[in-house]
């Protein structure tokens, strides 16, 4: 399933409030964010929607603002977050790389800035399940995921909004997807609610906070309220697509189609630079146009790591992030994975505790000592809490 993402920039909220709110609501959020991570953005990300062989049919907790999606809105399986992005040129770059079955991972300095924002900004309409609380854990998780074959499936919201934003305000603006930052004020006091805004977006709210925004019109879809929950849909399912069937490809081969509660949902594989392909089990999925491969296979092609995603090869340019393809077993990573070259001296233990040193976060990344100044991302200091080390106002 898949999530996706907008504009509007509310003022930043104190990080302390973020931590206390998260603690009081953690049980509810954990029950919800797993669903949003598979659903909300996927529907919003479709740039066009079409029934099979037919023309397009019109159609998470206070604090960190995890994006949540109603449990009933399950769409076709696919990339975890197909977001419509605010910067088309950047989005085109990622899509064009994927069209060549290629992944170009970001440099660690860009990942550090992104993680400083993701772990420190309040009220982000992004699923908390996608974001570790601790800065060091975030850098490790994001770096590993964006330097693997599955990066073609990685959240577009994180890649685009996270990597392109330089402040909490710009990150919120991108993730809100054009919705008003005050759209959820006065809503969700008794629990999660969702509605269609005046521009046809499907919004999910909780305790005055926006948890999810799906831009239905951008996908050629309509926002409708079904069983009390707002969702994006292409309309009723055609007779050729039955609820319970495996996801299938559209006639153009660009979209995944799936029937859910009598309504047709879609996922635009082309938004990722991918195409819709049918696997050996008969289920459709988004994949590259690379050569066929076996699940889990990996190898090195010079300094590029070649992995397998949904039955097709993906080449990861390890050197773009200062990494190398692991050529031999026994190095703590699989053969054909991007890894950091060992330091001749001065290496650190990746398990060392992340710590604050007068506004600077110090940690170990892939055996290399790293320092990140919170002021470089617009924050005033570094602080530690029960959720980990992060920047603060």
Same domain (yes/no): 274, 364? no
> Which of the 8 DSSP states describes residue 367?
T
Domain that residue 371 falls in? 355-392
The answer to whether 175 touches 161, Cβ cutoff 8 Å, is: yes
Please tell me whether residues 152 and 261 are part of one structural domain.
yes
| For range 379-384, the mean pLDDT | 94
The dihedral over CA atoms of 305, 307, 312, 315, expressed in degrees to the nearest 10, equals -20
Same structural domain, 84 and 197: yes
Within this chain, do residues 75 and 201 fall inside the same structural domain, yes or no?
A: yes
Asked if residue 367 and residue 266 are part of one domain, the reply reads no
Residues 135 and 249 in one domain: yes
Burial class (CB in 10 A: 0-12, 13-18, 19+), 76: buried
Q: What is the pLDDT of residue 141?
A: 93
Q: Rounded mean pLDDT of 31-47?
A: 34
Residue 312 lies in a domain: no
Average pLDDT over residues 269-295: 89
Q: Is the pLDDT of residue 165 over 90?
A: yes
How far apart CA 264 and CA 257 sit, in angstroms, is 7
Residues 166 and 21 in one domain: yes
Q: Which residues, in sequence order, are bridge partners of residue 215?
A: 201
Residue 71 is predicted with a pLDDT of 32
Inform me whether the pLDDT recorded for 248 exceeds 80.
Answer: yes
Q: What is the DSSP string of 297-352?
A: -EEEETTEEEEEETTEEEEEEGGGGT-EE--STTSSS-TT-EEPPPPSS----TTS
* pLDDT score of 25: 36
Closest by CA to 81, choosing from 151, 21, 28, 32, is 151
**Cα 176 to Cα 4: distance, rounded to the nearest angstrom:** 10
* In a domain? residue 211: yes
Residue 45 binned pLDDT confidence (cut-offs 50, 70, 90): very low
| Same domain, yes or no: 268 and 374 | no
Who's near 158: CB < 8 A, 6+ residues apart? 81, 114, 118, 126, 130, 142
pLDDT at 182 over 90: yes
Q: Answer yes or no: is 335 within a domain.
A: no
Whether residue 108 lies inside any domain: the answer is yes
The answer on pLDDT for 87 being more than 50 is no
Domain boundary among 283, 318, 341: 283
Residue 77 has pLDDT above 70, yes or no: no
CB atoms inside a 10 Å sphere around CB 232: 33
Find the mean pLDDT for residues 42-53. 32
Examine residue 69 and state whether it is found in any structural domain, yes or no: yes
Do both 274 and 369 map to the same domain? no
Total domains present in the chain: 2
200 against 58, higher pLDDT: 200
Provide the pLDDT for residue 57.
Answer: 28
> Which residue, 257, 283, 309, sits at the end of a domain?
283
Give the integer Cα–Cα distance in Å for 119 and 133: 6
Q: Are residue 231 and residue 378 in the same domain, yes or no?
A: no
Structure confidence by residue, pLDDT tens digits, 138-153: 999 999 999 999 999 8
- Other Cβ atoms less than 10 A from the Cβ of 256: the count is 29
Residue that wins the pLDDT comparison between 350 and 198: 198
- Looking at the fold, whether 136 and 250 belong to one and the same domain comes out as yes
**Residue 327 is assigned to a structural domain of this protein:** no
The answer to whether the CB of 284 falls within 8 A of the CB of 246 is yes
Residue-level pLDDT at 41? 34
State the CB neighbour count (10 A cutoff) for residue 160.
Answer: 23
Cα separation values, 293 from 196, 249, 276, 308, 335, Å: 42, 20, 16, 6, 16
So what's the pLDDT on residue 282? 84
Q: How confident is the model at residue 92 (pLDDT cuts 50, 70, 90)?
A: low
Q: What is the mean pLDDT of residues 314-335?
A: 87
* 53 has pLDDT over 80: no
**pLDDT at 186 (0 to 100):** 94
- Which domain-ending residue is among 283, 298, 333? 283
Q: Let me know if residue 349 belongs to a domain.
A: no
Residue with the larger pLDDT of the pair 305 and 232: 305
168 and 19 belong to one structural domain: yes
297, part of any domain:
no
More confident residue, 18 or 388: 388
**Lowest mean per-residue pLDDT among 94-98, 126-130, 174-178, 212-216:** 126-130
pLDDT grade, residue 101 (50/70/90)? very high
């Amino acid at each position: 399933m898949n999530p996706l993402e907008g504009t509007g920039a509310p003022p930043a909220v104190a990080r302390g409030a973020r931590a206390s709110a998260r603690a009081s609501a953690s049980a509810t959020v954990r029950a919800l964010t797993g669903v949003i991570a598979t659903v909300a953005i996927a529907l919003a990300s479709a740039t066009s929607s079409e029934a099979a062989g037919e023309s397009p049919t019109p159609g998470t907790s206070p604090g960190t603002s995890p994006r949540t999606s109603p449990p009933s809105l399950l769409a076709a399986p696919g990339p975890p977050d197909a977001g419509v992005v605010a910067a088309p040129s950047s989005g085109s770059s990622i899509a064009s790389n994927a069209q060549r079955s290629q992944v170009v991972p970001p440099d660690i300095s860009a990942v550090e800035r992104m993680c400083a924002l993701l772990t420190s900004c309040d009220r982000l309409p992004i699923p908390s399940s996608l974001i570790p609380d601790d800065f060091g854990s975030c850098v490790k998780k994001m770096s590993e995921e964006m330097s693997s074959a599955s990066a073609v499936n990685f959240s577009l919201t994180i890649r685009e909004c996270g990597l392109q934003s330089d402040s909490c305000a710009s990150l919120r603006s991108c993730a809100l997807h054009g919705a008003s930052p005050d759209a959820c004020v006065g809503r969700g006091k008794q629990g999660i609610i969702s509605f269609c805004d005046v521009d046809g977006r499907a919004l999910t709210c909780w305790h005055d906070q926006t948890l999810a925004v799906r831009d239905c019109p951008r996908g050629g879809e309509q926002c409708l309220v079904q069983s009390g929950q707002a969702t994006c849909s292409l309309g009723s399912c055609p007779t050729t697509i039955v609820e319970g069937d495996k996801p299938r490809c559209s006639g153009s081969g660009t979209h995944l189609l799936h029937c859910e509660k009598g309504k047709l949902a879609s996922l635009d594989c082309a938004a990722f630079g991918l195409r819709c392909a049918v696997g050996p089990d008969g289920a459709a999925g988004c994949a590259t146009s690379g050569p066929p491969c076996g699940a889990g296979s990996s190898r090195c092609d010079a300094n590029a790591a070649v992995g397998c995603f949904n039955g097709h090869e993906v080449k990861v340019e390890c050197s773009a992030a200062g990494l190398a393809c692991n050529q031999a077993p026994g190095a703590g990573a699989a053969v054909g994975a991007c890894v950091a070259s060992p330091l001749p001296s001065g290496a650190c233990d990746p398990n060392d505790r992340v710590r604050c040193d007068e506004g600077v976060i110090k940690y170990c990344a892939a055996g290399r000592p790293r320092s990140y100044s919170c002021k470089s991302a617009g924050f005033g200091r570094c602080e530690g809490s029960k959720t980990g080390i992060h920047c603060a106002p």
